[in-house]
A = this chain, B = another copy of it.
């Protein structure tokens, strides 16, 4: 039987991938007490980076937002694994940290990272409202447009 969050994901037309495997010697998440620390996720889709480039030059704001949303889907996949498959155990999205691969002149980082934040609220409702930071990175792994890490509270 699908849980409440799983049904919401279906309504949103989102099919979670299996969480992307780390590209190096670390793990996708660590659970400490009720907190899940999720490793930085880049916009992998089917094992390939779907958004490569610099927001403000080779990529538009909308591309950055779509990249952030894709990072968030991968975060959800990792959190689902951390919850043993049951996303209804998530009691709070505590914090998201967003890094945007942008030009020095770019100023709309909050709008980019909204691609992830809006998805959390769409999926979890009030439990999806999180603390956040959004900053510009000078560069990102594989040339990814966005990287997002997160901390979640689970029951």
Q: Which residues of A123-140 have CB atoms within 8 Å of chain B's CB atoms?
A: 129-140
| Contact in complex: B32, A130 (CB < 8 Å) | no
Q: Is the CB of A77 closer than 8 A to any CB of chain B?
A: no
**Of B23, B34, B138, the contact of A102 (CB 8 Å cutoff):** B138
- Copy number in this complex? 3
Interface residues of A (CB under 8 A from B): 22-30, 32-35, 37-40, 54, 92, 94-97, 99-111, 113-114, 117-118, 121, 129-143, 147, 149, 151, 153
Chain B residue nearest to A25 (CB atoms) is B117
The docked-state distance in angstroms from the alpha carbon of A32 to that of B131 is: 11
**Of B30, B35, B40, the contact of A134 (CB 8 Å cutoff):** B40
The docked-state distance in angstroms from the alpha carbon of A105 to that of B57 is: 13
| Contact in complex: A140, B133 (CB < 8 Å) | no
